[in-house]
């Protein structure tokens, strides 16, 4: 599977391709991060693979390196975006999967939320 596979009807594929503007947080060949349009917290960004993976339900061993690199980016990006240092600060990392998991956009994304409380949600 190529890292360049896109779904022409997918909102987050279009955001990663910059066909739809977003507040870009980070980009490399395989990964894109951008501010959530409806933030729950002072810091709220989404980390996505550029390749179209609909959700965690489609993740397999072939994605281990990609997801590992994404997870390894989270601490760096969270601090850069204004999350306070662990342990007094920190952040929430979550991914919704499927309808019962509360997933609204069908392109794998990790929410990173942080900053001083109270938050709008969560």
Q: Which of 17, 56, 67, 105 forms a contact with ligand 5GP (CB under 6 A)?
A: 105
Options 58-66, 68-76, 99-107, 114-122: segment touching ligand 5GP (CB under 6 A): 99-107
Active-site annotation holds for 109:
yes
Does the footprint of ligand 5GP cover residue 57 (CB under 6 A)?
no
Burial 70-108 (b: 16+ CB within 10 A, else e): beebbeebbbebebbeeeeeebbeebbbeeeeebeebbb
Query: Cα separation of 21 and 82, whole Å?
Result: 22
Does the footprint of Zn ion cover residue 107 (CB under 5 A)?
yes
- Binding residues with Zn ion: total (CB under 5 A): 6
| Helices and strands per DSSP (H, E), number in the chain | 2, 5
Question: Which partner, Zn ion, ligand 5GP, none, binds residue 30 by CB below 5 to 8 Å per kind?
Answer: none
Instruction: Please provide the size of the chain in residues.
Output: 122
Options 13-21, 58-66, 75-83, 111-119: segment touching Zn ion (CB under 5 A): 13-21
């Amino acid at each position: 599977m190529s890292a360049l596979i896109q779904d022409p009807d997918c909102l987050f594929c279009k955001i990663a391709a910059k066909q739809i503007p977003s507040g870009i947080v980070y980009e490399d060949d395989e990964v894109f991060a951008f501010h959530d349009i409806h933030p729950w917290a002072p810091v709220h960004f989404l980390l996505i693979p550029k390749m179209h993976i609909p959700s965690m339900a489609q993740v397999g061993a072939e994605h281990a390196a990609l997801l590992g690199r994404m997870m390894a980016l989270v601490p760096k990006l969270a601090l850069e975006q204004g999350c306070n240092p662990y342990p007094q600060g920190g952040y929430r990392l979550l991914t919704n999967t499927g309808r019962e998991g509360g997933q609204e956009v069908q392109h794998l994304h990790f929410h990173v939320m942080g900053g001083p409380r109270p938050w709008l949600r969560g």
